Amino acid sequence: MAYAYLFKYIIIGDTGVGKSCLLLQFTDKRFQPVHDLTIGVEFGARMITIDGKQIKLQIWDTAGQEAFRSITRSYYRGAAGALLVYDITRRETFNHLTTWLEDARQHSNSNMVIMLIGNKSDLESRREVKKEEGEAFAREHGLVFMETSAKTAANVEEAFINTAKEIYEKIQEGVFDINNEANGIKIGPQHSTAGAGGAGGAGAGGAPPGGCC
């Protein structure tokens, strides 16, 4: 399927906060309660539309466990966006955010857009982290914030799409070098032989629609 841009995301955060469930909800619109421990990376992809442009999100779901950090670190590079997830019913997952943020900033490119996600908002009765705390943390570290529920799908679309919007704006502002794939953004084979579909047109991708200065 042809797209104007491809954005790479990673999902990070402690084990068991619902990273894989968020991905599944976003890509397949379903919830699977089975806790299948992620060790290596898992991939998901979906098309969205921003500003009338088709954008392909390629999402990399990573392992939360400390033991597998050696793998997770490898995936930071080349991501344009990150969803940093904690579990509102487990205080310690919120407490570890600083470590995650340091890790992400150290290993990723400096323009990476980070969205802070407080997941499991459906479990209001077991809440341990107040929404205001999440907001304050996000403000302090310059992140976008949202509470989601992978189970009820509340705000899941918004989380992924708002991150994409932010990246898209940065492209318009010329902050991202879109010609370097290492930044996690790829220009699609758009404008070439419209309707050809399938594996995408010839290698010659035209100029980006927004242009850069």
List residues near another protein by CB under 8 A: 34-37, 39-41, 43, 45, 58, 60, 65, 67-68, 70-71, 73-75, 77-78, 179-182, 199-200, 202-203
Cβ 36 to another protein shortest distance, Å: 5
Cβ 156 to another protein shortest distance, Å: 21
The residue among 152 and 180 lying less far from another protein, judged by its C-beta, is: 180
Q: Give the chain's radius of gyration (CA, Å).
A: 17
**H or E stretch covering 55:** strand 53-61
The residue among 195 and 203 lying less far from another protein, judged by its C-beta, is: 203
Structure tokens at 49: 């539309």
Compute the C-alpha angle 75/77/83, nearest 5°: 65
Q: Cα dist. 49→43, 46, 52, 55, 131 in Å?
A: 20, 10, 6, 6, 29
- Using DSSP's 3-state secondary structure scheme, residue 43 falls into strand
The residue among 78 and 118 lying less far from another protein, judged by its C-beta, is: 78
Given the structure tokens 């050696």, which residue do they identify? 70
Residue ranges of the alpha helices (H) in the chain? 19-28, 69-76, 91-95, 97-107, 131-141, 156-172
Cβ 50 to another protein shortest distance, Å: 21
Cβ 175 to another protein shortest distance, Å: 18
The residue among 200 and 210 lying less far from another protein, judged by its C-beta, is: 200
Cβ 149 to another protein shortest distance, Å: 20
Given the structure tokens 């998901």, which residue do they identify? 44
The residue among 34 and 207 lying less far from another protein, judged by its C-beta, is: 34
Structure tokens at 46: 């979906």
The residue among 205 and 210 lying less far from another protein, judged by its C-beta, is: 205
Given the structure tokens 């708002």, which residue do they identify? 162
Cβ 76 to another protein shortest distance, Å: 9
